[in-house]
Amino acid sequence: MSMEDYDYLFKIVLIGNAGVGKTCLVRRFTQGLFPPGQGATIGVDFMIKTVEIKGVKVKQRFLILSYDITCEDSFRCLPEWLREIEQYANNQVVTILVGNKIDLADKREVHRQRAEEFAEAQSMLYLETSAKESDNVEKLFLDLACKLIREAKQNTLDNNDSTAMPGEGKNINYLSCCSMN
Ligand SMILES: Nc1nc2c(ncn2[C@@H]2O[C@H](COP(=O)(O)OP(=O)(O)OP(=O)(O)O)[C@@H](O)[C@H]2O)c(=O)[nH]1
């Protein structure tokens, strides 16, 4: 599919501790696969997925802040990640909190309600996912895209956002991951 076949451009960045499942979430969404036994992401991992959504032209950055529901530490680090976001991302960034690995319900260390309250206090959406079982993964990325388009229609986007890519105004999702090891 060539660039000319796209209508919108989105950039999505996943952040969170090492091992929470960022790469797996992206692979599940972009390739429909859950690849076991892959190594840690070094730097930033880029993948591309096309989706069809009707709406206005957008150029905005999404942030998916992720933790592992079976790993208390990955939840405790969220404020630190939020500080990084505040420091380096512009104010218009759309952020969603994701608790991954809900297929491991018997190993859960972070209660859903606690995460929901944290997300609400930070004005973030909250979703629980399983990259392994494909639970809520499509919803995660498509809800974000819809939210972005809604916001664009309300004319709240920063038109000077530097995340615009070549082919701006085309319909591409750039997905990337980064983590603190
Ligand atoms: N059970 C279960 N395991 C998962 C899930 N998502 C990821 N994993 C496992 O968690 C481990 C880490 O997954 P990654 O996707 O590499 O995690 P990451 O956040 O990208 O890690 P870094 O690249 O080190 O930042 C792997 O062994 C995956 O198989 C999930 O939804 N359920």
Better pLDDT: 18 or 45: 18
Pocket probe mutation, ligand 1, options 12, 14, 17, 23, max atoms within 8 Å of Cβ: 23
The CA distance from 56 to 84, in Å, is: 30
- What residues contact residue 4 under an 8 Å CB cut-off, 6+ apart? 170
In a domain, 33, yes or no: yes
Domain annotation covers residue 31: yes
Task: CATH number of the domain at 84, please.
Answer: 3.40.50.300
Q: Whose CA is nearest to atom 9 of ligand 1?
A: 21
Q: Highest mean pLDDT: which of 32-36, 62-66, 111-115, 138-142?
A: 111-115
Q: Bigger pLDDT: 40 or 166?
A: 40
Would you state the pLDDT for residue 10?
A: 66
pLDDT digits (tens, 9 = 90+) for 29-49: 878 888 766 667 665 555 655
Q: How many domains does the chain have?
A: 1
User: Is residue 147 in a domain?
Assistant: yes
pLDDT of residue 171: 39
Name 111's Cβ contacts closer than 8 Å, sequence gap at least 6. Answer: none
Helix (H) or strand (E) holding 179: strand 172-180
C-beta of residue 96 within 8 angstroms of C-beta of residue 65 = yes
Q: Please report, as a single letter, which amino acid is at residue 34.
A: F
- The parent domain of residue 43 ranges over 8-154
Q: How many CB atoms lie within 10 A of CB 108?
A: 17
Distance 175 CA to ligand 1 centre (A): 16
Percentage of the chain modeled with pLDDT above 70: 60
Atom of ligand 1 nearest to the CA of 133: 31
Considering the domain boundaries, does residue 162 fall inside one? Answer: no
Residue 44 forms part of a structural domain: yes
Q: Is the residue at 160 inside a domain? A: no
Question: Tell me, what's the pLDDT at 6?
Answer: 56
